[in-house]
Structure 1
Amino acid sequence: MHNFEKVNPAIRILASFITCFFVFIPFLGLAQVPTQPTINSKLKGKVTDSRTKESLPGVNVKIKGVTNSTITDATGEFELITGQKFPYTLIISYVGYKTIELFVDGSPVAISLEEISNQLNDIVVVGYGTQKRSDVTGSVSSVSQTSLKQPVSSIDQALKGAAPGIQVTQTSGQPGGGVSIRIRGGSSIQGGNEPLYVIDGFPVYNSTSSAGTLSGIPVNPLSSINPADIETVDILKDASATAIYGSRGANGVVIITTKKGKSNLTVLNYEASFGIQSIRKKVDVLNARDFSILRNEALFDANPALGPNQYLSQAQISQLGEGTNWQDAALRDAATQTHQISLSGGSEKVRYLLSGNYVKQDGIIKNTDFKRLGFRANVDARPYENLKVSASLTFNKSDANVAPGGIIGSLLIMPPTASIYDANGGYTLRNPFENIFANPIATILEQTNQSTTNRLLGTAFAEYSIIPGLTVKVLFGADVNNIAEKSYVPSTIYEGSLTNGSAGRGSLNSYSWLNENTVNYAKTIGKHTFDVLAGFTQQEYTRENFTAAAQNFIVDDLGPDGLSGGATLVKPGSDATDWILHSYLGRINYNYNNLYYATASIRTDGSSRFGKGNKWGYFPSAALSWKISNESFFSSLSETISDLKLRTSFGTTGNLEIGEYQSLATLGTYTYIIGNSILTGFSPNRIGNPNLSWETTYQYDAGIDIGFAANRIQLTLDGYYKKTTDLLLNVEIPWTSGYPSSLQNYGSVQNTGFEIGINTKNLTGALLWNTGLNVSINRNKVLTIGNGASSYINGNYIIRVGEPLGSFFGNVTNGILQTGEEAEKGKYTGNAVPKAGDRLYRDVNTDGSFTTAADKDIIGNAQPDFIFGLTNTFSWKGFDLSVILQGAYGNQILNTNRQNLELFTGQQNAAASAKDRWTPANPSQVLPRAKLDPAPVFSDRFIEDGSFLRVQNVTLGYSLPRSLLSRLKLSRAGIFVSGQNLLTWTNYTGFDPEVTSGSNVSPGTDAGIYPVSRTVSAGVRIGF
């Protein structure tokens, strides 16, 4: 193991370097200030928007070939002391507008700039560099600014429906909760399926987990990044784009670039918003009267001799009201607020951006919330013409009060006849009706489940140009995380009464440092353009965690901060892991006359995670594209087809996300009783595998980019084939080894798919209307699994050759047994003594009877037939409107809540649909009878259609006209209202069709987790 002492010095050196950089680099702009030229002439003028005719403040006006420059004032006017004689050429540039060169021979001048709505898309960030979009040979999607401006707490939430090939699923509605992303489908069974995130050059893997020591509730690591700080998000999808990341590129790469300062433009921006969140829908359950009737039926079925009213008499039932609505008692309308401030600017030599943000989001479940306080500093400097240095540093502190695990399920099944408080005003410790469930309101309000995360992420690099076209770049970075959790269950609630109070503390500290050394050479020789990249990178990661707990407290006052007050100490736990990754990489981009493009890359990774014989892996890729629209013979079609490019690529990537030390034999701790003593010892608990290696994904991609009508209509089509081999699976091995299984490289999975992306400029002029549509189709199939087996069953899921991952495996319902059918069909109920009203099941193996284990079949799948996103943006006279829709079709969801609510036992509450259950007077063919102790059967009854269409976001804003801004001495000012998750159309009966949880082998499960909320907010934006 690589201990922390080896990592810590590097972090300290990097921290010192970054600190010195931010302290001293601003002064570089003061060096070598040229002497002002003799004033010979002045140039005056005004710059306006070509469409609105409004003046543009802050426009940079420069004389070509010399250093003289100025910026326009609040009215768009400028005065430039030129030191030059007419005529000469001006260069006029402004963010969001086309840069122009203007020949002038006198003063004053009137200048008109044309807005570029897709300027940010002209340059695409790829691995270890940037490219013009027209030069990209791989499959790369860029997220629009409309999506990035959504009021979300985490950037990955803004990716919903934002680009083709990207499926975003929120795994919890908990404030700051986790999000799962799949790029072109999931390929791994026991490894990771999340993409690699690269934040300002630093690779981060999002495991969507908290410390994992106490609450077990996922808290999203990316929620520590302020979305307002992000300039662009580029998504690398095919192997040509991702192979440069080698053993971490199989699941795609999301490159996040934060905002930078602009030369000669000082801007102070402030934005604030306030909103209200509410539950999108509640699950209908029985009220007190209907529940009592059901319980009477269940008791009578179990013991008819005691009569039909064993629980309550009909007179008592008639006097009952609605009873306790546990959902209403636990849920609330919750407030949210955000505040963001940034200062940016600079000179020709130094540019900077400083920002701060504060987010407070109360949860819709009481006693839950999320807060984040963050700071960012980005500085770029060019002290000399051939030297560029840059640093990016962010610190965020986030705090979350987390809902107790399984609390939603408890709220649904708690009988409405139970009360929250007893006669003395204290909590009812347990249901007084002989029910085993604790009081969920007491659990929510009195338990402590807190998580605090401190994160420091920084990168700094120096780039030196040796000769024209040849640059050397050295980058250092560090990612330091500290997560602390604490929990307390007081003795005053049912769970704590069993232990007289229990407290726990946990911490997880992780440290990662990165060093990248690259050389880039770009050269154009006639019609041939070359861009060559070579480099060596190294990254090291260390993680340490610790837990401690105590029980049996005299008082509850100290909570989790007073472990020493517990008379019974719980055995503490600790762990430490680390890994190292060394890599060599190279890439060549070739362009012939802006017609034919070729890209070839290779990366070699050496990872400490894998076996002694397989530490190194090699990941090559190649891509070709043909810009047909630049051919001379294409000119006759240019008025109709303005752009046309064909692309194709092939390559291999890897997946090393399996955890540390999986190739090694390990020891486990065990407790032994010898005599009267309790002793702790060690024994082997895993067999080693020195040949363990990464999963390898081979991917083919073919695409076409086409533009119509001067690119007012842009269409991108991609088809791909992905095959992942050497899957990491626990394979059964002979028991003579002393172990039941071993982690080995077995099996393969394929993903094939088709993606469509359409962007249109429907209206131009005073009224602007742009539309973006993307549709993604992916088909997943298991090709082989370990040891030649045809299937592998994991609880309610099956991995079967020829079927997709995420297949549900259970029994098939076949109606309800009716009176008089007991002898004929009773054998299909699975009951020894069948009764009318029992559920019937299909005899899958056709042996003439039904048994739960033998008659299972595939009853659904979590993979959607297709996913889609639709964005419309409108702009007119200062008003702007954006509407984002997203959805999925064809996937199924396991509704775990429905499974629990349709037992009809009378010992817990049931779904409102139970009112239509089978009774002699209501011979239902859908719902069974009430039964005190049914044997739960997992069946297709609980697999529901998860298709949905959602209005993900609607934002309406108004910006003050520039003429008014100039009088107010503001650069911008506006207000906006926004709605998140406003409307959802779905047949799914649970809380939300998009909130799913589960592992790679058991996805598509609504396990009673925290529901997603609807949010309506309003805010203001001001710039100086």
Structure 2
Amino acid sequence: MRKFKGFLMPMLLALLCPVVLWAQVSVSGTILDSKNSPVTGASVRLRNSTIGTSTDATGRFSLNIPSNSGQLEISSVGFKSQTITLGTIEVANMSIKLEEDAGKLDEVVVTGLATNVKRRNLANAVATVSSKELAGTAPAQTLDAALNGKIPGAYINSNSGAPGGGISVRLRGVTSIFGNTQPLYVVDGVFIDNSSTPAGLNTVTQAAAAGNPANQDNPSNRISDIRPEDIESIEILKGASASAIYGSKAAAGVVIIATKRGKQGVTRFNISQDLGFVKPRKLLGARPLTEQRVIDQEWNVEEYRAAVAAGKIYDYEKEIYGETGFTRNTNFSMTGGSDKTTFYFSAAQKDEEGIVKYTGYRNSSLRLNVDHRITDNIKVGFTSNYINSSSDRSLTQNDNAGVTLGVALSSTPSFTELHPNSVGEYPDNRYAASNPIQTRDLVTNNEKVNRFIFGINLDAILYKSPKSVTRVVGRGGVDYYGLKTNAQFPSTLQFQEVAKGTSIQGFANNLNTNYIISLVNNWNPSDNLGLTTSLGMTQEKHEFDNLLNTATQVISGQTNVDQAGALTPVQFRTKNKDDGFFIQEEATLHDAITLTGGVRFDKSTNNGDPDKYYAYPKASVSWNLSRLGLGENNLFDNLKVRAAYGEAGNFPAYGSKFTAFIINNIDGLPGSIVDRIRGNAAIEPERQTEFEAGLDFTILNNRLSVEFSWYNKVVKDFLLQRTVPPSSGFALEWVNAGDLRNRGIEIGLNALVISKPNVKWNTTVNFWKNRSEVTKLVIPPTVLGAFGNTLGTFRIEEGASATQIVGIDEGSGGLAVKLGDQEPDFQMNFWNEVNFFKNFTLRFLIHWKQRGDNLNLTELLTDLGGTSHDYDDDKNANRIPDGIDRINQLGVTARPFVQEAGYVKLREIALYYNFKVGWKNIRGIRLGVSANNYAVHTDYKSYDPEVSNFGSGFSTGVEVMPYPSSKRATFHISVDF
């Protein structure tokens, strides 16, 4: 392979040298819709070349092309594409009218690392999200949150409501249990890191001391750094049949992000300002107290009487979680350029306060995208993005030491005094291990990121003839960030009496580099046959270095870790390299039948054998019956059947092939001993195979389109840790433990409901469901991911759902039985856009998740603490308070903690008004108001059914006193110059 690379690179560079020069002519015109309104941002490109531009706000374009050019291709989202044949003379002031494309049949979709196809001939169900859908309604705080409810086949969950993000994304069911569960994100050809780096809070909270050993620090994930406002479009390759060409990184799906690019013409400016506020979506409420209830709880009656007499009964939940946070989002952008060079620049800052005092999120970003056409045959593009972010996340979620805000509140009655006195001294909390007011005010939990992303794209035509075009396409770049976590627990805190002050400071450096070099040949031997051949090679490198310093006995008033009596450093480093090469062939017959076949070969230093290549094939067929004339004059305007098969992989967990050494101290002497987890030198990647079939059609003159997909996704050799005999000297061992299967359907409907001069209504409805099953398990059933059989846990066993929740139940004899399933019955979304009276636009998104269970321990903790708002209710009329009823079931059944988490959410709603201004320097003004997460219908008994306190891995849907979710309202103003 090394010799092959050494031969290919010089050959490609040599082929890039020839430059063909042509005489130039000018082509100009205006692109209009069916109502003679200008189409902004329409793409105008010279076929089989790198020459192209976009229309401005008035629909105008101007392009210099070689005099012997043949055809212009004109396309825009929501419209049918057009091809215009040009002569050799100059063509000026053309007027081109585009037809609406409600079914998005002419939308171009990625089919390979350097190839694409129109949706009408696409063989896979590829979801797309436009900039309008992503950030044009009610912008969410982060990119991953903005995707929620918009992707058919996805299960997206917020880990908590803490500022700065923290989202888990699962495409078409369970992909892995111990391996990577999150999709690969590719931004302008750059592979983006999306890991979560903990801040070491478990040292204080002891959250991992029992139950799930996974980290529960509530860190944010790094895809949240990317600003949604800079994104032009997103494509989601949900299964292996679509993502196979990405090989061993694609098992969990691929999210391909294209950011905004420059447009030829006069330099245009935009300034936008969003101002708003956030409030808690829901608070659980305080328990009404009486003297008898205080006595029953064995609380201090005299303290209660004194508080009542002084009028000092507090709602501490509202005081801590009930802040109204101010939000500000400022963005400046400019775009322009010549026929040779175009640019897009943006400078933006987002600053949001949280619903807990002293929490918030700040993101500052600079972006510069430049595209330059060196010759008519060679074009290069550069992408650069600098991000600086800071999030203050407070101290919430699971806790075995009683110190986080929610856990302390769960046992704190409303009459005890927690506020500081006149000199700033906080009283100890008599009823919990910490004073939550003191913790909120004095604890620091900050996460700062400096990130730089740089990418380069090369598109060069090496050879061109009337029937064949050969191109070289190169993409890649660098993703680097430095992350600093800072957690400070002063010695004055109630729970720091033993540690006498703790300072935890972490430093992480992450470097991702990747490149993709592709050779693509398009050959059209006739009008009825087109062949696209692509081959190339890829490489990805990843280096991560995290140093976490935990200092105790910190000198009062100091924060440096060297100003302490004891210091414990922990360092975690990873380094891996992945290489691959691929070949793919696409054949199009009569612009109706599309056949695709390809294979990718990958190797990785994470595999047991780092030099072994694994093959990931793909094949698909799409048959557009309407394009062949079948079914003409019948019900269908367009009818297509399709089928696709593909394989993708998931590298083994880093270090799983090695047996590690861990630090040990014997008689004061440091040394290394063998870890209790035995490595497996024969470990192999998890492999995913998927077969997908579908039927797509449009009716009513293309005003109604329907897309139906069925898939069968099999994950083979998934990773688990198994118990080994104690005589081996180890406790656990990494193994490829079994297989699991996901089956599901996805149905999408898009309709142009009304199209009148004063009213236009577009609607999209999606339905999707998934069912998983563990089909093979070579080790005994494995319990993992939660709190054990008494409170409920996940269990991997052959023949059962991969997301089942088990626990003890009445009559089970102490054995764990299935009590629920984290997977929803189904999900639906309803997206609507209504344009009326020309200048008004109303958009809204409704998201429906039917059932699906969470493990909720929040209610248990408030019951045990005697603070549940409904503790004294008697809904079953058995004369026993409901709180006591629930406590009495502890140890008898885990069923009360497995709670249905379905909902119907009005995720986004917005009303905008567009002013068309005739002033000299101002082209338009856009005003709007929006609301996000403002209306939710659910029977779930806690803050929000969307919760996952155990992070973004396998164990989603687990809740223990999270940072509550919030709702937001925003006013928008945008001015175009």
Question: Do Structure 1 and Structure 2 share a fold, with TM-score over 0.5?
Answer: yes
Q: Give how far 1:449 is off.
A: 1.1
Partners of 2:46 and 2:553 lie apart in 1 by 78
Post-superposition offset of 1:651: 1.9
Per mean C-alpha deviation after superposition, the further-off stretch among 677-686 and 247-256 is 677-686
| 2:429 is equivalent to residue 431 of structure 1 | yes
- 1:246 deviates by 1.0
Q: Is the contact between residue 663 and residue 673 of structure 2 (CA under 8 Å) also seen in structure 1?
A: yes
Alignment match of 2:880 (pick from 919, 924, 927): 924
- Work out which of the residue numbers 312, 315, 324 in structure 2 matches 1:325: 315
Aligned-partner Cα distance in 2 for 1:65–1:583: 28
Structure 1 residue 642 corresponds to structure 2 residue 645 = no
CA distance 1:34–1:344, change in 2 (3 Å): farther
Shift of the 977–740 alpha-carbon distance from structure 1 to 2, 3 Å rule, reads: same
Distance apart, 1:504 and its partner CA = 2.4
User: Matched residue of 1:630: which SS?
Assistant: helix
Is residue 957 of structure 2 the alignment partner of residue 1015 of structure 1? Answer: no
Query: Aligned with 1:727: secondary structure?
Result: strand
Q: Encode CA deviations 1:531-563: one digit per residue, 9 max, x unaligned.
A: 11111111111111112243334431x4x3x33
Distance 1:60 1:522, change over 3 A: closer
Aligned partners of 2:359 and 2:21: how far apart in 1?
Answer: 56
Once the two structures are superposed, residues 722-762 of structure 1 have per-residue CA deviations (whole angstroms, 9 ceiling, x without a partner) of 11111101112222211122101111111110110100001
Tell me the amino acid that sits aligned with residue 901 of structure 2: G
Helix, strand or coil: the match of 1:898? helix
In 2, the alpha carbon distance for the partners of 1:699 and 1:655 equals: 14
| Paired letter, 2:368 | A
Q: Is the 8 A contact 1:123 1:132 kept in 2?
A: yes
CA gap of 1:918–1:968, structure 2 versus 1, over 3 A, is closer
Q: Which residue of 2 aligns with 1:754?
A: 745
For the Cα contact (< 8 Å) 1:513–1:540, is it kept in 2? yes
1:534 and 2:501 correspond: no
Cα deviation for residue 494 of structure 1 reads: 0.9
Provide the rounded CA distance (Å) in 2 between the counterparts of 1:686 and 1:61: 59
Q: Deviations over 1:758-795 (max 9, x none)?
A: 000011132110000101110111222233x3554662
Query: Which of residues 574, 584, 589 is equivalent to 1:587?
Result: 584
Asked whether 1:779 is paired with 2:777, we answer no
Which secondary structure state, in structure 2, belongs to the residue aligned with residue 329 of structure 1? helix
Please list the CA deviations of residues 577-615 of structure 1 after superposition, one character each: whole Å capped at 9, or x if unmatched.
Answer: 101100111111111112221111111110111213784
Residues 377 and 106 (structure 1), Cα distance of their counterparts in 2 relative to 1, 3 Å cut: closer
What amino acid maps onto 1:244 in structure 2? I
- Counterpart secondary structure, 1:413: coil
Q: Secondary structure at the match of 1:960?
A: strand
- Determine if the alignment matches structure 1 residue 137 to structure 2 residue 136: no
**CA distance in structure 1 between the aligned counterparts of 2:682 and 2:40, rounded to whole angstroms:** 64
CA contact (8 A) 2:453 2:478 kept: yes
Structure 1 range deviating more: 873-882 or 55-64: 55-64
Residue 200 of structure 1 is aligned with which of 188, 194, 198? 188
After superposition, the Cα gap between the structure-2 partners of 1:52 and 1:800, relative to the gap in structure 1 and judged at 3 Å, is same
Q: Which moved more, 1:688-697 or 1:211-220?
A: 211-220
Mapped contact 2:200–2:548 kept (Cα < 8 A): no
Indicate conservation of the 8 Å contact 1:126/1:236, yes or no: no
1:668-747 → structure 2 map (5 Å cutoff): 668-673=662-667, 677-747=668-738
Tell whether 2:901 aligns with 1:946: yes
Give the secondary structure class of the aligned counterpart of 1:156.
helix
Q: For residues 301-380 of structure 1, what are the structure 2 equivalents within 5 Å? A: 311-312=301-302, 319=309, 323-331=313-321, 332-380=323-371
Output the TM-score relative to the length of structure 1. 0.83
Per-residue CA deviations over 1:200-237 (Å, capped at 9, x if unaligned) read 11223523445667892221211111111111101112
Q: 1:563 aligns with which of 552, 561, 564?
A: 561
Bigger mean CA deviation after superposition, 745-754 or 792-801: 792-801
**Aligned residue runs from structure 1 range 961-976, under 5 A:** 961=916, 965-976=917-928
Q: Residues 810-829 of structure 1, C-alpha deviation per residue, up to 9 Å, x if partnerless?
A: 233xxxxxxxxxxxxxxxxx
Structure 2 equivalent of residue 956 of structure 1: 911
TM-score by length of 2: 0.86
Answer whether contact 2:851 2:903 (CA < 8 A) is retained.
no
Aligned to 2:624: 627
2:650 to 640, 646, 655: 655
Per the alignment, residue 770 of structure 1 pairs with: 762
In the alignment, structure 1 residue 122 sits paired with structure 2 residue 107: yes
Matches of 2:202 and 2:381, distance apart in 1: 40
Aligned residues of 1:121 and 1:142 also touching (Cα < 8 A): no
Query: Which position in structure 2 is the counterpart of 1:418?
Result: 416
Residue in 1 that maps onto 2:240: 239
Counterpart pick for 1:981 among 927, 933, 949: 933
Following the alignment from structure 1 to structure 2, what is the Cα–Cα distance between the partners of residues 314 and 72? Answer: 71
Q: Deviations over 1:707-733 (max 9, x none)?
A: 112211110000011111111011122
The letter of the residue matching 2:824 is P
- 1:615-646 per-residue CA deviation (whole Å, 9 max, x = no partner) reads 43111111111111112332232xx3111111
Instruction: For 1:439-478, list aligned pairs within 5 A.
Output: 439-468=435-464, 469-478=469-478
* 1:810-849 pair list within 5 angstroms: 810-812=807-809, 842-845=810-813
Q: Give the AA of the match of 2:407.
A: G
In the alignment, which of 817, 842, 847 is matched to residue 886 of structure 1?
847
Name the CA shift for 1:71/1:728 in 2 (closer, same or farther; >3 Å). closer
Report SS of the residue matched to 2:972: strand
Offset at 1:58? 9.5
Q: Which runs of 5+ in 1 are unaligned?
A: 1-28, 38-42, 300-308, 813-841, 846-853
User: What whole-Å deviation, never above 9, does each CA across 1:297-333 have from its counterpart, x for those lacking one?
Assistant: 244xxxxxxxxx9845997797585722111221300
State how far apart, in whole Å, the 2-side matches of 1:238 and 1:625 are: 17
RMSD (CA atoms) = 3.7
What does residue 3 of structure 1 align with? none
Q: How far off its partner does 1:68 sit? A: 14
Please report how far the alpha carbon of residue 397 of structure 1 lies from its aligned counterpart in structure 2 after TM superposition.
Answer: 0.6
Match of 1:502 in 2: 502
Structure 1 residue 51, shift from structure 2 partner: 5.2
Deviation at 1:92, TM superposition (A): 8.7
Partner of 1:12 in structure 2?
none
In structure 1, which of residues 860, 864, 870 is the aligned counterpart of residue 830 of structure 2? 870
**Could you tell me how far apart the structure 1 residues matched to 2:224 and 2:334 are?**
22
Question: Aligned equivalents of 2:540 and 2:60: distance in 1?
Answer: 51
Give the whole-Å Cα distance in 2 for the aligned partners of 1:615 and 1:89: 47
Deviation at 1:970, TM superposition (A): 2.5
**Which residue does 2:268 correspond to in 1?**
267
Secondary structure at 2:632 match in 1: helix
Equivalent residue for 1:19?
none
Using the TM superposition, give the Cα deviation of residue 1017 of structure 1 relative to its aligned residue in structure 2, in angstroms.
0.1
Q: How many residues align?
A: 916
Identity %: 25
Partner SS, residue 859 of structure 2: helix
In structure 2, relative to structure 1, the CA distance for the partners of 1:76 and 1:403 (3 Å cut) is closer
Q: Quote the Cα distance in structure 2 between the aligned partners of 1:78 and 1:857.
A: 66
C-alpha contact (below 8 Å) 2:523/2:531 kept by paired residues: yes
What is the alpha-carbon distance in structure 1 between the residues aligned to residue 46 and residue 562 of structure 2?
73
1:245 CA drift (Å): 0.9
Partners in 2 of 1:745 and 1:396 — Cα distance?
39
Structure 1: distance between partners of 2:99 and 2:341? 26
State the partner residue of 2:133.
Answer: 147
Corresponding residue number in structure 2 for 1:1003: 956
Amino acid in structure 2 at the alignment position of 1:516: I
How far apart, CA to CA, are the structure 2 residues paired with 1:670 and 1:66? Answer: 64
Q: Which runs of 5+ in 2 are unaligned?
A: 1-18, 204-216, 398-404
Q: Secondary structure at the match of 2:120?
A: helix
Q: In the alignment, does 2:485 pair up with 1:485?
A: yes
1:805 Cα deviation from its structure 2 partner: 2.3
User: Per-residue deviation at 1:951?
Assistant: 0.2
CA gap 1:679/1:499 in 2 versus in 1, 3 angstroms: same
- 1:652-692 CA-partner distances (Å, limit 9, x unpaired): 21112x4322101211111111xxx4444433443231110
Provide the rounded CA distance (Å) in 1 between the counterparts of 2:428 and 2:547: 33
Distance 1:664 1:79, change over 3 A: closer
Alignment of 1:17-96 (within 5 A): 49=32, 53=36
Which one has a bigger Cα radius of gyration? Answer: 1
